[in-house]
Chain A
Amino acid sequence: MAEDLLKIEHLVKKYEDNTILNDISFNVKQGEVIVIVGPSGCGKSTLLRCINALEPIQGGHIYLKDDEVMAGGANLAKLRQRIGMVFQSYELFPHLTVIENITLAPMKVQKRARDEVEKEAEALLKRVGLLEKKNYYPRELSGGQKQRVAIVRALCMHPEILLFDEVTAALDPEMVREVLDVIVDLAAEGKTMMIVTHEMQFAKAIADRVIFIDSGSIVEEGAPEAFFESPKTERAKKFLQTFTFEDVSKRRAAASDSISASE
Chain B
Amino acid sequence: MQNLGLEVLFKGKNMIRLLGGLWVALKISLISVAISIPLGILLGAMMTWKNPIVKAILRIYLEFIRIMPQMVLLFVFYFETTKAFGWDLSGETASIIVFILWGAAEMSDLVRGAFESIPKHQYESAEALGFTRAQTLTYIIIPQTLRRLLPLSINLITRMIKTTSLVLMIGVVEVLKVAQQIIEANRMTSPNAAFGVYLTIFIMYFLACWPISMLARYLEKKWR
Contacts and interface: CB of A to CB of B under 8 A. Distances in A.
B partners with A: yes
Contact of A91 (B125, B132, B143, B223): B125
A105 B129 CA distance: 7
Contacts of B135: 108-109
A153 interface: yes
A236 interface: no
Q: Classify chain A: how many residues form its interface, as a range.
A: 20 to 34
Contact of A54 (B127, B139, B140, B143): B127
A83 B127 CA distance: 11
Interface in A104-157: 104-105, 108-110, 139, 153-154, 157
B129 A157 contact: yes
A54 B124 contact: yes
B224 A80 contact: no
A212 to B, nearest CB: 25
A91 B118 CA distance: 12
A252 interface: no
Nearest to A55: B124
Contact of A93 (B122, B124, B130): B122
Given A104-B139, A108-B135, A91 B130 contact: no
Given A93-B140, A94-B144, A109-B135, A80 B124 contact: no
Contacts of B132: 77
A149 to B, nearest CB: 12
A153 B126 CA distance: 11
**Most chain A CB neighbours (cut-off 10 Å) among B125, B131, B223:** B125
Contact of B224 (A85, A108, A139): A139
Given A94-B144, A95-B144, A95-B147, A105 B122 contact: no
B126 to A, nearest CB: 8
B130 A105 contact: yes
B121 interface: yes
B2 to A, nearest CB: 53
A109 B129 contact: yes
A87 interface: yes
Interface in B95-122: 121-122
Contacts of A77: 127, 130-132
A87 B130 contact: no
Interface residues of B, number: 19
Chain B interface mostly: helix
B84 interface: no
Contacts of A93: 122, 125-126, 140, 144
A168 to B, nearest CB: 17
Given A87-B121, A93-B122, A80 B144 contact: no
A78 B131 CA distance: 9
Contact of B128 (A54, A78, A89): A54
A192 interface: no
A234 to B, nearest CB: 36
B108 to A, nearest CB: 23
A251 B141 CA distance: 54
B144 A81 contact: no
A157 B121 CA distance: 19
B147 A108 contact: no
A84 B127 CA distance: 11
Nearest to A94: B144
Nearest to B144: A95
Contacts of B125: 85, 87, 91-93
Given A93-B122, A93-B140, A108-B139, A81 B129 contact: yes
B218 to A, nearest CB: 17
A52 interface: yes
A46 to B, nearest CB: 13
Nearest to B140: A93
A178 to B, nearest CB: 21
A78 B132 CA distance: 9
Contact of A95 (B126, B128, B143): B143
Contacts of B130: 77-78, 80-81, 105, 109-110, 157
B84 to A, nearest CB: 48
8 contacts: A54-B124, A78-B130, A87-B121, A93-B125, A95-B143, A95-B144, A95-B223, A104-B139
Given A157-B129, A157-B130, 14 more contacts: A77-B132, A80-B130, A85-B128, A87-B121, A91-B122, A91-B125, A93-B144, A95-B144, A95-B147, A104-B139, A105-B129, A105-B130, A109-B131, A109-B135
Identify the 5 closest CB pairs spanning chains A and B, nearest first. A81-B130, A91-B125, A105-B129, A85-B128, A80-B130
